[in-house]
Structure formats: structure tokens, C-alpha cells
Structure 1
């Protein structure tokens, strides 16, 4: 029978988080810089993975590491919001154009159903109506592209901030 060596007891803090599966590696790398270790990884539900983390309760510089951890989480939330804004702005712009097209088509419908029918007004209003419906797709693509170009430097800035935050955390752990 083998004899087990006694290991000193280490009291731990525990934390459970849900992260997007696509960003799992980034979260694991970053949390390691703040002293967290993966306790277990739970299943993937709706594109999100649940992580159970732990770290020594009596870790040095715990307050500063917690502050850096919150800064990292805020940066990740900002990146998520910036990326979502690309799609949402493009969607809103295309919906406005399509709605204007629908308003013109409603006007064209009322013009043709009037007594007597005003055909020239119907045609005049139908052209921008169809243009609005067809143009919504092109507006979406254009706004998406422009917004992505505007947001990309901001996202890169947040990634640089995350890198600096993780470096500070790693330095504190090594100290």
C-alpha cells in the first residue's frame, strides 16, 4: 500500500461563469492571468459554455486582481456590444428604407383605388415604393460595411486593453 503525502490545505474562492463558446479560449487564458484555475467545464447550452473556476482565497494582491478581472469583463462586454451594433445599425437602416417603400406603396394603392382611379399618381408612388423594397438589401450591406470599418479600430483598442490588463495580472501573480 502506498503512503500518501500530506498536502497543505488551501482554501479557495469559487466562481461560475457562462461564456460564449466561440470565446472560451480567450476567457480561459485571461482568467488564468487573474489566478483562476478551471475546476470543471460544463456542457454547451445555446452556444454558451459554463465554467467553474477556483483560486486561492489568500492569494497576494487579491483586490487588484479582482479589479483587473472586472476591467477585463467590461472590455469583453464592450467588444460584444460593438460587434452587435454592426448588425443592429444595418438592420435598422434597412428597415427604415423598407418601411418608406411600404408607405409609398400604400399611397400608390390608395391612388389606384380612389374614385376615379389616379393612375399617374399610382405609378409615381409605386416606383419609389418598389425601389425602397429592393433597396433595403443594398442599404443593409452598405451600412454593415461602413459600421464594421468604423467599429474595427475600437474593437482592436479593447483587445489591446485586454492584453495590457492580462499582463498586469500576470505580473501581480508572479510578484
Structure 2
């Protein structure tokens, strides 16, 4: 008669989580979510096959349902997710004001250029007015690029320390989560 061995065959129930994130954060999530008890779901698709249009990707995780400190780990995980969102918001804010300023300068330049076109096509042509309006028109078109670059550079210098502080907060949250798992 043969014997059936039950050694090591204890059932483990999992809870599952699917995250759609920016592709640039995929490594950060794959490295950090294990600190909150999650592991990449081996039954899910491979990372390369999960890429979406628009720079997003889907990650699939699983976690033991009977994990200790689950409430605190979930709170830390939410803190982690909010830090990532704050970093994204700060990154986007680098170019917001610069884009608005560049567009406004470009519109003013285009308006001057339109005035110059109307001045030269008038009957009789107003060549002097055309020249006077064309100069700020071209200047507006050219200056918008330089203003954009200058404002992005200035805003980046202001925002970078805040982003670094948020990254330190992320690492601290992950460290606390990892300490709860031990």
C-alpha cells in the first residue's frame, strides 16, 4: 500500500492586486511592494507583455491573506502610493508654468505677425507698420522657446529638493513595512 505525504502541502490563500502605473515607476513598484507583503503574481502576464499605450503598464501582485500586521502594511502601502502620486504631480509641475508662458508669448508673437500681414496687404501697403509689427512677431516666436527652457530650469531647481524629500519618505515607508514583515 502506498502512503500519501502531506508534508509541505499546506494551503495558502492569497489576495490579489492589479496596479496600472506609469512604466517609469514599474521597477520602483516591483522593488517596493514586497515590503508590504506583496509579491509579483507568477501566474500573471510577463511585464514586457503588459505595456499599454500612453506609457502605462499593469502589474499583478499577490499577498498571503493571513499575513501579520495587515492593517498597518495596508496603511503604509497607501502612504507609498500617495508619495508616488505626489512625485508625479511635482514632476508635471516643472513644465506647467513654462508651457503657459511660452504659449502666451507665442500667441502675442503670432498676433503681431498677423498685424504685419494685414498691414502689408492693406491698400496702400503700410510697409513701415509691417516692419514694426514683424519684429516683435519674430521675437515672440523665438523668445517663447528660450523662456520655456529658462522657466523649466528654474522650476526644476525649486522642485528637485521636494522630489528628493518624497523619495526619502518612500524609502522610509518601505523600511517600516519591511520591519513589520520580519
TM-score w.r.t. length of structure 2:
0.86
Aligned equivalent of 2:52: 45
Consecutive unaligned residues of structure 1, counting only runs of 5 or more, are none
- Of 87-96 and 66-75, the range deviating more from structure 2: 87-96
Among 140, 146, 152, the residue aligned to 1:144: 152
Aligned equivalent of 1:5: 7
Query: Aligned residues, how many?
Result: 174
Describe the SS at the equivalent of 2:57: strand
TM-superposed CA distance for 1:3, in Å, is 5.9
- Matches of 1:151 and 1:25 in 2, distance apart? 23
- Of 159-168 and 33-42, the range deviating more from structure 2: 33-42
Aligned equivalent of 1:130: 138
- Matches of 1:138 and 1:52 in 2, distance apart? 43
Q: What do the CA deviations read for 1:69-110 (whole angstroms, capped 9, x no partner)?
A: 111111111111211222333222211111110111122222
- Of 81-90 and 129-138, the range deviating more from structure 2: 81-90
- Of 127-136 and 6-15, the range deviating more from structure 2: 6-15
TM-score w.r.t. length of structure 1:
0.89
Describe the SS at the equivalent of 2:151: helix
Among 4, 21, 24, the residue aligned to 1:22: 24
Aligned equivalent of 2:99: 91
How large is the Cα RMSD of the aligned pairs? Answer: 2.0
- Matches of 2:38 and 2:112 in 1, distance apart? 59
Aligned equivalent of 1:111: 119
Q: Quick check: 1:74 aligned with 2:82? A: yes
Aligned equivalent of 2:65: 57
Consecutive unaligned residues of structure 2, counting only runs of 5 or more, are none
Larger strand proportion of the pair = 1
- Matches of 2:178 and 2:19 in 1, distance apart? 21
